Amino acid sequence: MTRARMAAARHMRRALSSILALSLLCVAASSAEAAQVAVTYKVDVGPMTLTTVRLLIDMQPDVVTSKARIKSGGVANLFAEYSAVAEATSLIGEGAPQPVKFNLVRERDNDIRKVSLSWTPDGTLAYEPKSPKPERRDSIAKALTGSVTDPITAVLRVGTAGETPCPSVHDVFDGRDVFELALTGKGNGTVDETVDYRGAVQLCEVRWTPLAGRAKDKNVPGDTYDVAFAPVGKLPRGQQLWLPVDLTGSLKGLPFRAYAEKIDVVD
């Protein structure tokens, strides 16, 4: 049971980093601008809710600030209590959203790990702590090229990629792993009554593939998730924003799901 819970926690962290996060946001379809959104996600593995994610996104004309709290609960706490707080600042302009800074604090059974990422205006990335392993450090450095972004800014890039969130491809760095998110379209669909959203959704398949870092070195296979995206409104500069409302996959034969349970929106 302990190994199963630890595997579940690792899987959830990958899923939430992939979608963010994890794991992120849903409101009724609207053409209005949203100023602030607070959402609570439930993450289920099999018949049990193992994790709760609470997210707050604050949108200004040029800057978006976001904070996500992830906490294990219920039966999962009997084996390994896990929590994390992620904070990000992103610039919103005419092109794709640009990362400014990303901080992540993870705690498991009183073991605290911190990650800090920051980008200069010219796109140069600095991060701490770096891996103590030279080969891993070098492989991460080679992968941190082009438009690599943090997990939360990646959500904004997915959501503003065009008329629909898929197809699109994004390279992401969370301070430990560089990975690719590749989205392909699966048509239109609906979500059930457990999701706090009513309206049309775009169905996508999201493939998570490690490029460098711990997961790549350990030969962790890529994961695939089915995600329902909804058009939640518009950013202050007018871009249509698509964000995930439901995410499903599998974990060692058990169904895995993350869905929005409660949403509060301020226009």
pLDDT tens-digit map of 32-79: 455 777 778 888 887 777 788 888 888 888 898 999 888 876 544 444
Q: Which residues pair with 166 in a beta bridge?
A: none
Mean pLDDT of 198-214: 91
Nearest to residue 177, comparing CAs of 139, 215, 141, 208? 215
Check residue 33 and give its pLDDT.
Answer: 56
Check residue 73 and give its pLDDT.
Answer: 65
Nearest to residue 37, comparing CAs of 62, 66, 73? 66
Q: Which of 3-7, 81-85, 262-266 has the weakest average pLDDT?
A: 3-7
Cα–Cα distance for residue pair 143/136, rounded to 1 Å: 11
- H or E segment at 141? helix 134-143
Residue with tokens 């989205």: 183
Cα–Cα distance for residue pair 127/244, rounded to 1 Å: 28
In whole angstroms, how large is the CA radius of gyration of the chain? 17
- Confidence (pTM): 0.83
Cα–Cα distance for residue pair 89/66, rounded to 1 Å: 7
